[in-house]
């Protein structure tokens, strides 16, 4: 299936007065860092704080009077739900929105706010895919209209209006586009428009580690359903992409960059501290992917799409934690102390370096044991300080086990 320029232009007309023409913001910091001309497409500045309003409204505004009376059903991890809720209220269509129970509270409350009296929220399933199955079953039972988050030509055409704006905002030309992928609706619409206007533009997708359904499907050249996914990057955590989006991405994408969650978290913090931008994990995906594209973007004009800014402030401690671990600045150990006086002092005075900081210490003394273990968290000023720290522990005879964030034990105790 192909989404045409005409379909995208029709979507743009429907969206007038509903969405803003989001700014294309030049990033001096990232341009200098990657030796390129880098712009950020600020879709986080839409009223629902993401591009999802474009596809949701375009689909719903295209419904007939009879279809609108039936009511609509959808499933979403958060941002599509807000776009649908806004559209329900704006168009006066009653809707039922299914969301995973893992959805951040901030997104759930925003859906209720935008939907007002027109929307009912149901929390079902651990993932988007489980929630979507329940939504489809409910929709069939009630004989209502399903508004797909990504696998629908009208939804894709609505998202494609972002591509039209980018082309118009860069009269001197675009070399590379980097965009996030969840189900693939956004990058499908944007790539269809940009490739139709300028086939020379290179398009990269960005997916989170442990939830890269599109990358795996393209690799195997068929639609793949991931058995298990990490839902931390909730806006892009999909077990199976769409048939339509898979076909378009096969045709239009150069490559997909799979981004570690820790790097996404570091990018979120960098955006906040340097540009004052509040990005959600999926919103920061495209910028986080740049570190894997250093040679490709060098000397080029690049647009990274910041797809959303619906981030719950309560998540920031976890985001900061993941960022520090990814940078090699925070480490956890099980340290074995002999049950005799002076062991802790030995560790503090001879084990720690001048810039090392203890950020967690949990010790359980057992009177019938000669040795006792402690969980110790260490934060370093420089990742290079780790090896000297480990060497000092060996020199003073303290046994330890370094915990890896890849281990099951790490997830249970950290």
Identify the burial level of 163 via C-beta atoms within 10 angstroms of its C-beta, where 0-12 means exposed, 13-18 middle and 19 or more buried.
buried
pLDDT of residue 104: 87
pLDDT of res. 78: 87
SS3 400: strand
Q: Give me the average pLDDT of each 10-residue run along the chain (414 residues).
A: 97 98 98 98 97 98 98 94 97 97 91 96 95 97 97 98 98 97 98 98 97 98 96 94 98 98 98 96 98 98 97 92 96 90 92 95 74 92 96 94 82 74
**Burial level of 171, CB count in 10 A (0-12/13-18/19+)?**
exposed
User: What pLDDT is attached to residue 241?
Assistant: 97
Q: Strand runs (DSSP E) across 288-329, as ranges?
A: 301-306
> 162: how many CB neighbours lie within 10 A of its CB?
29
Contact 214, 256 (CB under 8 A): yes
Q: Which residues contact 194 (CB under 8 A, 6 or more apart)?
A: 163, 166, 167, 174, 177, 201, 203
CB 115 within 8 A of CB 88: yes
Predicted local confidence at residue 367, as pLDDT: 61
Two structure tokens written together for 57: 């409204």
Q: What is the predicted pLDDT for the residue at 404?
A: 87
Nearest-angstrom CA–CA distance, 371 and 363: 11
Provide the pairing of β-strand 357-363 with 371-379: antiparallel
CA 76 to the chain's CA centroid: 14
Query: DSSP per residue over 60-119, as a string?
Result: HHTS-HHHHHH-EEEE-SSHHHHHHHHHHHHHT--EEEEE-TTS-HHHHHHHHHHHGGGE
pLDDT at 147: 98
**Cα–Cα distance, 363 to 361 (Å, whole number):** 6
């Amino acid at each position: 299936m192909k989404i045409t320029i005409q379909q995208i232009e029709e979507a743009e007309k429907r969206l007038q007065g509903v969405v803003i023409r989001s700014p294309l913001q030049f990033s001096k910091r990232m341009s200098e860092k990657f030796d390129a001309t880098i712009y950020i497409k600020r879709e986080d500045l839409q009223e629902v704080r993401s591009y999802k309003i474009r596809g949701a409204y375009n689909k719903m505004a295209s419904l007939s009077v009879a279809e609108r009376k039936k009511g609509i059903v959808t499933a979403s991890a958060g941002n599509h739900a807000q776009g649908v809720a806004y559209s329900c209220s704006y168009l006066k269509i009653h809707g039922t929105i299914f969301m995973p129970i893992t959805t951040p509270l901030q997104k759930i409350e925003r859906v209720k706010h935008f939907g007002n009296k027109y929307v009912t929220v149901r929390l079902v399933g651990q993932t988007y895919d489980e929630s979507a199955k329940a939504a489809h079953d409910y929709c069939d039972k009630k004989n209502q209209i399903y508004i797909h988050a990504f696998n629908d030509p009208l939804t894709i055409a609505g998202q494609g209006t972002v591509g039209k704006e980018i082309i118009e905002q860069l009269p001197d030309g675009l070399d590379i586009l980097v965009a996030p992928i969840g189900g693939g609706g956004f990058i499908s619409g944007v790539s269809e428009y940009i490739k139709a206007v300028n086939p020379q533009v290179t398009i990269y997708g960005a997916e989170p580690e442990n939830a890269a359904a599109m990358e795996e499907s393209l690799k195997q050249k068929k639609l793949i359903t991931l058995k298990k996914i990490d839902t931390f990057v909730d806006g892009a955590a999909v077990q199976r992409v769409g048939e339509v989006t898979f076909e378009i991405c096969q045709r239009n994408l150069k490559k997909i960059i799979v981004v570690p969650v820790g790097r996404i978290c570091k990018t979120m913090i960098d955006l906040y501290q340097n540009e004052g931008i509040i990005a959600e994990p999926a919103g920061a995906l495209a910028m986080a992917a740049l570190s894997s594209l250093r040679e490709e973007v060098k000397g080029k004009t690049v647009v990274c799409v910041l797809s959303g800014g619906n981030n719950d402030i309560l998540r920031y401690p976890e985001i900061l934690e993941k960022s520090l671990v990814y940078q090699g600045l925070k480490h956890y150990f099980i340290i074995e102390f002999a049950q005799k006086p002076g062991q802790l002092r030995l560790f503090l005075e001879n084990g720690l370096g001048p810039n090392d900081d203890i950020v967690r210490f949990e010790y359980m003394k057992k009177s019938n044991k000669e040795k006792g273990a402690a969980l110790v968290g260490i934060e370093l000023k420089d990742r290079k300080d780790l090896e000297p720290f480990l060497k000092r522990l060996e020199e003073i005879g303290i046994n330890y086990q370094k915990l890896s964030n890849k281990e099951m034990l790490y997830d249970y105790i950290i």
